[in-house]
Amino acid sequence: MILAVDCGNSRLKWGLHDGEGWARTGATPLAEIASLKKAWKKIPQADTIVVANVAGPLARRRLERVFPRSPVTWVKAKRSECGVTNGYASPAQLGADRWAALVAAWSMFRGACVVVMAGTATTIDPLRGDGTFAGGMILPGLDLMKRSLSESTADLPLAKGRFSRAPRNTADAIETGCLLAQAGAIERAFAAMEPGAVCVLAGGAAERIATGLGMPVRVVDNLVLEGLVRIARAPSE
């Protein structure tokens, strides 16, 4: 049993993998990490725990207080792992969640991909057909874009709009503009890929962003968790 934990900027996702698939999964806001101690007491004991934490040292300390008594691996990006080569100038500077997502995408598709994580921030990471990650992009996430308009202007509300090819109200105009801004960055990255590449989307805003994309997309649930399980199973170097 592997307990995989993806601790992001605004929420934490976890899954208990039994070797065949996800036996249990869950999610919680970062402010409620303490509640996981009770939740994890109700699941089978994990043989190992593997974590991607991009929420900083405070979140790590809070997690350490609630983890079951199992060995814990705090994932950091490496120069090479699980068939993926990291082209960052300083490999460990790449976020652990992005690294795990790249590992998962390579394991699933074994070819060129644009790996998009659509959360608080949106990351767009091209993966070449030989497993090389040469470098990627970070931009504000969909909801962060919308909040910045609301907080920095007098007349633009933080309202729930809908995507439209011809928006006829302000809420729809904001939703559509922010979606297409995300889509444009993804499509520019995809256009530079080698033939046969796929676009892999994950994260809380993945389904919404997919509506604005003009190419085939694979939306994958729990992409970071999938990568963490593969990292946990890889032979130690």
Just list the catalytic residues.
97
Q: How far apart are CA 199 and CA 145, in angstroms?
A: 22
Longest Cα–Cα distance of the chain, Å, equals 57
φ and ψ of 187, to 5 deg = -65, -35
Q: How far apart are CA 181 and CA 195, in angstroms?
A: 24
Q: Are strands 198-202 and 113-118 parallel, antiparallel or unpaired?
A: parallel
According to DSSP, the residues that pair with 2 across neighbouring strands are 17, 48
Q: What H or E segment, with its residue span, contains residue 137?
A: strand 137-140
Question: Can you point out the beta strands (E) in 8-136?
Answer: 11-17, 22-29, 48-53, 72-74, 80-81, 84-86, 113-118, 121-127, 132-133
| Alpha carbon 124 to its chain's center | 10
Q: What single-letter amino acid sits at 215?
A: M
| Runs of H (alpha helix) within 141-197 | 142-152, 170-191
Q: Tokens in use for 151?
A: 């907080």
Q: How far apart are CA 75 and CA 68, in angstroms?
A: 18
